[in-house]
Structures are given as C-alpha cells and as structure tokens.
Structure 1
Amino acid sequence: MNFILNTFRFIGLTVYYVLESLVFYIVPKRKKNVSGEIVLITGAGSGIGRLLSLKFARLGATLVLWDINEEGLKETGRLARENGGARVHSYICDCSKKQDIYRVADEVKKEVGDVSILVNNAGVVTGKKILDCPDSLIEKTMEVNTMAHFWTYKAFLPAMLASNHGHLVSIASIAGLMGFSRCSDYSASKFAAVGFAESVDREIRDLQKTGVKTTIVCPCLINTGMFDGCISQCPRLLPALEPEYVAEEIITAIRQNQEFLLLPRTSYMFALKYILPVKAFTALMDYLLVHRVMNNFKGRPKKD
C-alpha cells in the first residue's frame, strides 16, 4: 500500500514541478532582495568574481572579497565602492591552503559577521595533457577548484543552518559534466565540485533547512582570459560567452533561488551523454569539434 501511495505521490509531484518550471520559464520568479546580505566571493580579484562583486555592490550587499592577487583585489574593492558598495571588506586568501581559508574565515566572522551568501568562484586551469602536467599543478587544481569548497562550506555553513538562512553558490563548469581533452585535472576538479554541491544540497534538504538555498553554475567557455587561446569550433551552437552576460545570469539565478544554471542554453544538449550510446555521443562531439577547443590554450599570462 505504501509503495502505491508513494508512487502516486511521486507522479503527482513530478507533474507539478514540471508545470511549475514551465510557468516560471514564461513568467520569471520574483527576485529576492540581497540588500544587507553578507556576500563572500572567492577569486574576486578578476573575471567573473569581479563582475559579481560589482553587481552585488549595486544591490546593496555587504561584500567580503577574497583573492590571492592583492593588486586585483584592491582594484575590485575600489570599483565596488564606486558602484555603491558602502561596505566592502577585502582579504588576501590562498584558496589552495586549508589553514589559510580557516584563518581568514575566522577573521571575517569576527570583523564582518556571518556570511549569508557564499560564492565559490576561485578557479585555476592548467590546459595540459595528463602526461605533460606536473604533479604540483594537478594538486593545485584540485585544492583550489574542489577542496576549497569543502573548507569554505565547513567554515560558513553552520551559521546558515543555525539561522535557516543562506545561499551556497558553486561556480563549476560544463567540464564538470563531461570530459574534454587537455582538461583531465580541471574536469576532475569540476566534476567533484558539482558532486559535492549536489550532495550538500541533499543533506540540507534532509535537515529540512528550507531557508538555505544552493545554486550550481556550469558555463561553457567565457572570455575572461582564463582560457585565452581557446576557440569554440562551433560558435553558433556553443559561442564563447561574454563575462557580463554570465555574471548577470548568475545574479539572476541566485536571486531566483535557481538550483542549476547551464550556459548557454544550447549546452543542455550535452544531456544526450546519458541517453545516446557512448559511440554515438562521441560522434556528436567529434562533429561539433568539441575536442579541439583546448588545442591553442594559453591562459592568463603568468607573473614572475
């Protein structure tokens, strides 16, 4: 009897949520107010992290900016204040080091307060084939792109759960849903970041902490300089994304409590990976020349 009731409940909820999704696609959800929220953004010194900082500043949030690049961090802080951010707090933090994360997190809690929106944005990429990639770079990729998420969640999630209020945002990648050539370490780190964020979301639901939200972001190639040299071989279907567009979509997703954001929308076709035979999906990727995207990778120039 329980099986039958649970089955009908599952079918009913599925139909309801599908219809709800269609309605919200036509009539967007109301956006929540983030004014006064304490927003921590890792990797805020450049790229998407900087743009998100400026947008949150305009919305009246209290900003906590983390980056290892002191120069970039200062510039983001200056721009954020010019964009209306009256409360901007900047911290040098090496997200590849657990103890550094915990130390700076303690400073934030003492000096600013409990973080209510955490944006794990910091990331690194090597762009090397697995046999050409030094062990130290592989370890750095995993430490920044994956392990840092564990430490920031452990530092700031308890206060969110205690107040039943907060938002966890993981900036992952389409490479966290499928593997790309010359991205073995990067893809591994992003697959892990997606899996970690999904698992924590499940734990939060089990605790019935409905006021703590999660958003996972998986964009394709973005023109921030991080993937300099990479060129989309199928620009009509999978164009390189402009940072301003990506940042605005992320802000909208956060304010509408959207659980998952994939950019651009055409990249939802990668779901065929779980439907088509492996060889058929590989043929599709070959047709789209996806395997060539990293061929001319240069990345951001490294400072001496």
Structure 2
Amino acid sequence: MMESIDWKEVVLTVLRVWWMCIYGVYCMAESFVRSLLPRDYQRKEIRGEIVLITGGGSGIGRLLCLKFAEKGAKIVTWDIDEEANERTARMVKEKGGICRSYTVDLCNPKDIYATATKVKQEFGKVDILVNNAGIVTGKSLMNSLDDDIIQTFEVNALSHFWTVKAFLGDMMLSNKGHIVTVASMAGWLGYNKMVDFCASKFAAVGFDEALRMELKSEGAEGIKTTVVCPVYVNKQAFDGVIATKLLATLSPDRVASEIVDATLMNVPVLMLPKIMRLVLLLKLLLPEKFVYKVAAATGLTTMMDKQQGKWEEY
C-alpha cells in the first residue's frame, strides 16, 4: 500500500527552499553594495579598546601594533623575543600610543594562560585578539626534523586554541569582541617544500571557520572573526622566494593595512590579492592534472626553491 503524501510538509519544504533562495540573493546584493561603499563608512570605532597581537616584535606584527594604535586602540604585544617586543612598545609610545609588551612562549599553553591572566589584571579585558605569530622553514617533508614540524604546528595552529580559550570567555560575557587569525593562502592551496607550513595553515583556516560557526550557533554573534589569507609576503621569513609569473610578493605594510581594515569592517575572510578567490574556485572546478600544469607554468611549484628564511617569525 502506498503511503499518503504529507502535502503540508511538501508545501513547507518548497517555501523553505524559496526563502533560502531569496535570502541568498539578498545576501549577495548586500555584499555587492557594501563593496561599493567607501571604507570610511564601514569601519567600526575601536578608540580605547585593547588589541592584543601575537608576534608583535617584528614584521607584520609590529606594523599591526603601530596601525591599530593609530586608530586609538591600546596595544598589548606578545612575542618570545623580549628585546624586539620592547622595541615595538617603544615605537608605539613614541607615536603617542599606549602599549605594553609581554614575553610569551606560544609553544607553552601554561605560559599563555598565565600571561593572559596577567594582562587582564594589569591592563584589562582584551577586545580584539590578533593571532599573528607564525614560523616557516621551507624544507621538503623528508628534510624536515620532527621537532621542527611539531613547533610549526604549535606556533601556527595550536597556539590559537590556547589564546582564544584564554580571552573568549570575557568576550562572550559581553557578546562583543573580535578574533583575527592570520593564516595564508597556503591554508587553501598546497605548495612544495611547505608541507608542514601548509598543513598548519589549513588548520588555522579551519579553526577560524569552525569557531565562527560555533559562535553564531551559540548566539554570540556580537563576537566577530576574520581569517587573513595573503600569498607570499616580502619579508625575512620568505627571503629568496621567487615571485611567480602570475603573482608578485606582497609588501608587509599593505598586508598590515588590509588586516586592520578587514578587522574594522568585520570582513570574515580576507584573501590577498583578491584574484586568489578566482584561483581557488578554478582549483576546485578544474582537473587536478591541469591545475598542476598551470601551477608549474606560472612558477608556483618553484617559488620556495631559493627560500632562505629559517625559523623566522613573521
């Protein structure tokens, strides 16, 4: 005997599909309109808020400290290099900003939690957390030491768990805050001589996406997240990297400025340059054999052949 059709359920399903289609069109239209608006109209105010940046002792981290301070934020910089970290703090203060430096080993969860407690007691609640610290070796998998692989994951991925756990609770109490994950396009695309680095950045990208979903599902939509995915940046960690025929390396100053703007505009995913969204789409649609040929022809498979940075933090 055939089961009777539940027409009420059929109608509800059709209505749900139509609603999702309409909502999807609305979201795309909203995104398009936002892209046309001047950035000045989209940036949120962070004057007086506390911004904590890991890896603030050098490179992009130092630039982020200076640029967030220019927006009126109070800066906390974390780095394992005490001297470089203190130099960053001095640079911020010389420009009229407020900054405090803490020496932290991001490979040590206990050190992270203890220093986080100290920051809250001495400085206050962290409003924006920027997980920027990262390291790269540029070695093939078989030439990578086990300890180096572990350290890559500890700094580039696992430390994000500990820092977020240390500060997210306070953000959830007020349903306000922002967590920035500085990952890489190597978190979406694999490269040779970067197996450990790519794997750690894939983890960082996944961490951000899952965290964003979790926060929304728990009603904490006032806490925003941003994942930053640039291609190779022209900095010490990537000394000797060959610019491809398709893409040139990015300047640290440009990347830092884009990170600050993406944070202030609550951009969930920042890919630099923007054409990388198209590259990623083509990677998903085209056959793998063809994708490899394109990568080889444009120099993506040889970019790291002359890389000279070793355990450089960026």
- TM value normalised by structure 1: 0.96
Q: Distance in 1 between matches of 2:60 and 2:160?
A: 17
Equivalent AA in structure 1 for residue 64 of structure 2? L
Q: Verify the 8 A CA contact 2:104 2:112 in the aligned structure 1.
A: yes
Q: Please state if 1:206 is matched with 2:204.
A: no
Shift of the 210–163 alpha-carbon distance from structure 1 to 2, 3 Å rule, reads: same
Residues 21-71 of structure 1 deviation map (CA, whole Å, 9 limit, x = unaligned) = 111111145210111111000000001100000011111111110000111
1:128 to 136, 139, 154: 139
Equivalent AA in structure 2 for residue 135 of structure 1? D
The answer to which structure, 1 or 2, has the higher relative contact order (CA under 8 A, 6+ apart) is: 2
Give the equivalent residue in structure 1 for 2:5: none
Give the equivalent residue in structure 1 for 2:93: 81
Residues 83-118 of structure 1 deviation map (CA, whole Å, 9 limit, x = unaligned) = 221x21110001111111111111111111111100
Matches within 5 A, 1:101-140: 101-140=112-151
Q: Distance in 1 between matches of 2:175 and 2:124?
A: 16
Deviation at 1:5, TM superposition (A): 2.1
Q: Distance in 2 between matches of 1:231 and 1:174?
A: 16
1:247 to 251, 256, 264: 256
Deviation at 1:270, TM superposition (A): 2.5
Shift of the 158–2 alpha-carbon distance from structure 1 to 2, 3 Å rule, reads: farther
Give the equivalent residue in structure 2 for 1:55: 67
Equivalent AA in structure 1 for residue 266 of structure 2? N
Q: Distance in 2 between matches of 1:297 and 1:24?
A: 39
Equivalent AA in structure 1 for residue 193 of structure 2? R
Deviation at 1:2, TM superposition (A): 3.0
Give the equivalent residue in structure 2 for 1:294: 304
Residues 114-162 of structure 1 deviation map (CA, whole Å, 9 limit, x = unaligned) = 1110000000101110010000000000000000000011100111111
1:144 to 155, 159, 168: 155
Between 1:9-18 and 1:195-204, the stretch displaced more is 9-18
Q: Distance in 1 between matches of 2:64 and 2:118?
A: 22
In structure 2, stretches of 5+ residues that fail to align are: 1-10
Deviation at 1:300, TM superposition (A): 5.5
Give the equivalent residue in structure 2 for 1:229: 240
Q: Please state if 1:168 is matched with 2:179.
A: yes
Give the equivalent residue in structure 2 for 1:42: 54
Q: Distance in 2 between matches of 1:209 and 1:9?
A: 24
Q: Secondary structure at the match of 1:222?
A: coil
Give the equivalent residue in structure 1 for 2:168: 157
Residues 224-276 of structure 1 deviation map (CA, whole Å, 9 limit, x = unaligned) = 21111111122xx3111011111111111111000010001222222211111
> How many residues in Structure 1 have an aligned counterpart in Structure 2?
299
Deviation at 1:301, TM superposition (A): 8.2
1:96 to 107, 125, 128: 107
Q: Secondary structure at the match of 1:6?
A: helix
Shift of the 154–301 alpha-carbon distance from structure 1 to 2, 3 Å rule, reads: closer
Give the percent of matched residue pairs that are identical in Structure 1 and Structure 2.
44
Task: Return structure 1 stretches of 4+ with deviation > 2 angstroms.
Answer: none
1:263 to 272, 293, 301: 272
Q: Secondary structure at the match of 2:60?
A: helix
Shift of the 123–301 alpha-carbon distance from structure 1 to 2, 3 Å rule, reads: closer
Q: Verify the 8 A CA contact 1:176 1:189 in the aligned structure 2.
A: yes
Give the equivalent residue in structure 2 for 1:17: 27
Give the equivalent residue in structure 1 for 2:83: 71
Q: Verify the 8 A CA contact 1:166 1:211 in the aligned structure 2.
A: yes
Q: Secondary structure at the match of 2:136?
A: coil
Q: Verify the 8 A CA contact 2:152 2:200 in the aligned structure 1.
A: yes
Q: Secondary structure at the match of 1:127?
A: coil
2:204 to 169, 183, 193: 193
Q: Secondary structure at the match of 2:27?
A: helix
Equivalent AA in structure 2 for residue 55 of structure 1? K
2:294 to 271, 284, 303: 284
